[in-house]
Each structure stands twice: as structure tokens, then as C-alpha cells.
Chains A and B, each alone.
Chain A
Amino acid sequence: MTTLLTWLVEPLQQEFMVRALLVSMLVSCVCGLLSCYMTLKGWALMGDAVSHAVMPGVVIAYALNLPFAVGAFVFGVGSVALIGYIKQMTRIKEDTVIGLVFTGFFALGLTLISKVRSSIDLSHILFGNVLGISSSDILQTVLISLLVLTVLVVLRKDLLLFCFDPAHARSIGLHTGVLHYLLLSMLSLAAVAGLQTVGIILVVAMLVTPGATAYLLTDRFDRMVWLSILSAVLSSVAGIYWSYWMDASTAGCIVLVQTLLFLLCFLLAPRHGLLAQRRRSPRASRFPSA
């Protein structure tokens, strides 16, 4: 018992650990909430694309001494607009266009970072640096998180309807075009917040896994949101502790815990888990009783 307590309390005597835990918990709330919409809308690939595409924006912003969120936002939304434009103007399929655009942006970011003289460390952007996060980065992350949380909470029902039935949303006078780009903007911002904790490469896990995990556990959206946030926060905290004691990559540990939680639910979820499905006959699981 005392060893467990030591295990939990000792890291908290380090200021950087407290900061890392608090920032990660906040970012997890944002990403956990957003990931519900990403899962339901089927935008995982879009999340991957946007999170990679923000990289040149982050590099340029750092080089020009601007808030990194501004650069990330411009490039995140820009990449989405470009994907939409190329898709509309050519016959190339959307997933191809997404792959093409985000790798192009990512390559631009890589090249810039190797040529622009600045204090940024490539590995911090790629893999996150939550244990060494600076005060100004914390401030920005907090502001972004509050903005995204506010927008998502205020418009949660419109966004849900937009994900469920955009045609109906439009027919009753909702501005689905605005909702579409708003959700993508929130995705860009959440990606920037998320890359503070786990970096560009793994941020898509923050934007997808908690929502997918929660979706296996419930058929109600409000519960899905809470479960998603809970699993995201739990993963971040557990992951940071784990990385502290194992001296392992923080981003790796956080995402590993998320993935383990998902696998656990995949096996054991009460209705949609593998075991529960096995217990019912295959036919019954495809046609739920009416």
C-alpha cells in the first residue's frame, strides 16, 4: 500500500510532472470530446491529415515568433480546403487526395525545420515534449483548449445532427457548410493542443481512440462523451506515470495505455464487445431484437 502511494506521490514533488499532468488532462478533455465527433463522422483519416499538415505552420510561427497556434490553424484549415478543392476539380478519390496533401505539407515542415535556424527541436514536435513544456506553450494550450471546449459544448447538438443527418440539418435551415468548416477548425486547434502532449505523429490517436473506445461501451451520445473524456484523461495520467517510472517515451506510453483500454473494451464491452457478441448467435448480433 505504501509503495503504491509512493509510486503515485513521489513524481508530484517534481514541478515539471505536475505541469505535465495538468496540461495533459486538459488536452485529453478537449481531444476526448472531439474524438466522439471524429469517430461518428468517420474523419479519422482527416484527423491524421490535419495533424500532420499543421507542422509547417508550427515551424514558421516559431521562426517568426508568433503564437504557434496561429500558424497551425492556418495550415490545418488550409490543408482541408486544398483537399476539398483538389477533390472537386479532379477525379482523384478523396483518400488519395488526403494522403497526397498531408504528406506534402509534412514534407514542407520537415524541410523548413532543417533549414530555418530556430530553437525548435524536431523531436519535440514529432513526439511531443510535455515533460519540458514551457510557460508560454502552456498558456497557449490552455487558451486553445478553452476555445475548443466552448465551441464544442455550445454547438454540440448542431454538430451531432450534422454528423448524423446533414441533409436534414440543411433542410431545417442549419448552415452545414459553416458547421463542416467549424468542426475542421476545431480539429486543427485540437491537433495543436494534442501535439503538445504526444507530438504530431501520435496526435491522431488522441483524436480517435478515446471516442472509438467509448463508442463500444454505450449507445447514448452523452454517455459516450463522458466515457471518452474519462478514458482520455485516465490514459494520459497513467501514461505519464508509467513513462516516469520506466523512463520511457511519454507519448508512447500515453497512446499505449489508450490502445490497451480500447482492446480491453473491444474484448469485454457489455453489448458490442467480442465476448458479448460471441455469446449471442451471429444472426442475433446482426439483427438486434426489435
Chain B
Amino acid sequence: MPSGQPQFDGNERISVRHLCVDYHGVVAIHDASLHLDAGSICALVGMNGAGKSTLFKALMGFVRPTSGSIAINGLPLSQARRARAVAYVPQTESVDWNFPVNVHEVVMMGRYGAMNLLRIPRPLDREAVQEALERVDLWPLRHRQIGALSGGQRKRAFLARALAQGASVMLLDEPFNGVDIRTEKLMIELFEQFRREGRTLMISTHDLSHVTGFCDQVVLINKTVLAYGETASVFTRENLALTFGGLGLEAAAAAAIDPDPQQAP
């Protein structure tokens, strides 16, 4: 596979089998299994401490599973990482916006894995960065220091980095936190484009209205995967009650889902 020319073929993007992760003897995730096909947008729903970020870390290979296995595009994690298959889009709050880098430099960071030791950009890398920046409408602002961007532009800069990386799997940590309606619409449009290209997005969120809106898959998590699959069949009162405990009904009301799961969109 030529570097820089990601292929989004293959059917299986994420496959997690019987995953267990614990930190110093405290169980974070127990016997979790899930499967995501190419070209889907999947909501990862769970309470704080339910293991959302642990699952993300496991998918990026940052934590060693106690048992179980993970495959990305059918490859073991170490190979998937070398192919730069997985991109992580951080929460806005966790980024140091005062850091002395501009938009172009941040997006170029998506290409580092593909470059030589000195990380001198080749024409190929420059093209990939330009293409990514144009897709998110940030090309004219490429010389701005990242802190001088508006909230929506900041989000798009990091989406551009994931694009430039050529990732077929994108993990997005609470992407809609602190985003206005207009930006949210723009982001969802982009997500739907990514899906059409055969990428698979996993979006951690606690705003359930997004789930029925544009996510075709849902993973419900509480120390393990409670349910996963098509939104319509998974996003039921019963499952939400399992996920949120006593808060399940309020959560369901917040998402305004149909009480009868069979009729859900």
C-alpha cells in the first residue's frame, strides 16, 4: 500500500473480542465485544467512568488488555498503528491552545508517521494537508496560531489532521461539547461524508439526541459492552436503563426516542 494513499476498502473496521482491561487490579472493562463495519458512524454512550475513554485507549493501543483481542481493519493494533489507520480527535478542553503552532503545522502532524526521520514534508504530504484543510474550509486560515481560531474552527482543524493522516477509523472524544448549532450541523455533514468514503467513526457522547439523529450504530457501555448494533434495535428503554441505571428513563426522554423500540427510526 503506498503511504499517503489510504484505501478504505475491506468490510470490517473495528473488532473487539472479549476485551478485559484493568488498572492496578481495578476492573475498567470486562469481557467487552463489539464489531463495526466499514462506513458507519457509531455513538459510544455511557456514564462517566463507564469505560468510554478506556475503550478508546485500548483501541489506540495505549493500555494493554488483560485478556481479549482487538483488530482494526483485520490487523493487530501494532500493524494498524504503523498504517496510521486510527486517528484520535481529542476533546477541545484537553488541547493547549496557546501552543506556538499554526493550523498548517497541526494538520501536518497527521503526516509525521509517513515521513522520514527529519519529518521534512514531501510534495505528497503537502498535498494531503492542503486537501484536508480545503475540505474543512480552513485553507485560508492555515497560518493562524491555533488559539486564534473560533470554537468551530478549532474542531475542524483537528478533523483535518485526522483526514491528512488518512485514517480509516476515527475516534472522537465528545466532539459536540461547547459547539453551537451551526458548527454542529457542519460537523455532522463532514461526518456523513467520511462515512460515505468508507471510514468508520466512533463518537463518545453523553448527549443522546445525536444518537438518533445521525449515528447508524450505537455501543452502550457500562464497564462492559451492554449492547451494540443498529441504532434502531439497540437504543431502547430497556438498554438505556441498563446503561444509566435509574437515570435510564430520563435519558430516554432527553433523546426523545419512541417508547416502542420496533417503531424507532
Interface residues of A (CB under 8 A from B): 40, 154, 157-158, 160-161, 163-165, 167-174, 215, 218-221, 224, 288-290
Q: How many residues belonging to B are interface residues under a CB distance threshold of 8 Å? A: 33
B87 surroundings in chain A (CB, below 8 A): 168, 171
Q: Is B206 an interface residue (CB 8 A)?
A: no
CB distance from A231 to the nearest CB of B (A): 15
Q: How far is the CA of A173 from the CA of B118 in the complex (A)?
A: 15
User: What are the 8 closest A-B residue pairs judged by CB atoms, nearest first?
Assistant: A290-B150, A172-B113, A219-B145, A157-B119, A221-B100, A173-B81, A173-B113, A171-B60
CB distance from B136 to the nearest CB of A (A): 15
* Closest residue of B by beta carbon distance from A161: B109
Cβ-Cβ contact count across A and B, 8 Å cutoff: 75
New A-B pairs, 8, CB < 8 Å, besides A158-B112, A172-B112, A215-B100: A164-B101, A164-B109, A165-B90, A167-B60, A171-B86, A171-B87, A173-B84, A219-B147
Q: How far is the CA of A221 from the CA of B168 in the complex (A)?
A: 30
CB distance from B106 to the nearest CB of A (A): 8
A170 surroundings in chain B (CB, below 8 A): 60-62
CB of B112 within 8 A of CB of A220, answer no
CB of A40 within 8 A of CB of B148, answer no
CB distance from A179 to the nearest CB of B (A): 12
Q: How far is the CA of A165 from the CA of B60 in the complex (A)?
A: 14
Q: What sequence of 0s and 1s flags, for each residue 53-64 of chain B, a beta carbon within 8 Å of any chain A beta carbon?
A: 000000011100
Contact of B99 among A157, A164, A174, A218 (CB under 8 A): A164
Contact of A224 among B82, B100, B109, B148 (CB under 8 A): B100
CB of B113 within 8 A of CB of A174, answer yes
**Within residues 133 to 180 of chain B, which ones have a CB less than 8 A from any CB in chain A?**
145, 147-150, 153, 161, 165
* Closest residue of A by beta carbon distance from B95: A165
Contact of A164 among B96, B117, B148, B149 (CB under 8 A): B96
Q: Beyond A168-B161, A288-B147, is A218–B117 a contact (Cβ under 8 Å)?
A: no
CB of A165 within 8 A of CB of B113, answer no
Contact of B90 among A163, A167, A290 (CB under 8 A): A167
Q: How far is the CA of A254 from the CA of B23 in the complex (A)?
A: 47
* Closest residue of B by beta carbon distance from A215: B100
CB of A290 within 8 A of CB of B100, answer no
B161 surroundings in chain A (CB, below 8 A): 168
CB distance from A262 to the nearest CB of B (A): 17
Q: Is B102 an interface residue (CB 8 A)?
A: yes
CB distance from B77 to the nearest CB of A (A): 10
CB of A219 within 8 A of CB of B119, answer no
A289 surroundings in chain B (CB, below 8 A): 148
Q: How far is the CA of A128 from the CA of B188 in the complex (A)?
A: 60
B84 surroundings in chain A (CB, below 8 A): 172-173
A172 surroundings in chain B (CB, below 8 A): 81, 84, 110, 112-113, 165
A288 surroundings in chain B (CB, below 8 A): 147-148
CB of B109 within 8 A of CB of A290, answer no
Contact of A171 among B88, B117, B148 (CB under 8 A): B88
CB of A167 within 8 A of CB of B100, answer no
CB of B112 within 8 A of CB of A290, answer no
CB of B109 within 8 A of CB of A165, answer yes
Contact of A290 among B61, B110, B118, B153 (CB under 8 A): B153
Q: How far is the CA of A261 from the CA of B148 in the complex (A)?
A: 27
Q: How far is the CA of A220 from the CA of B147 in the complex (A)?
A: 12
* A–B Cβ pairs within 8 angstroms, 15 of them: A40-B99, A157-B112, A157-B119, A163-B99, A164-B109, A167-B90, A173-B84, A219-B100, A219-B147, A220-B100, A220-B145, A221-B100, A289-B148, A290-B149, A290-B153
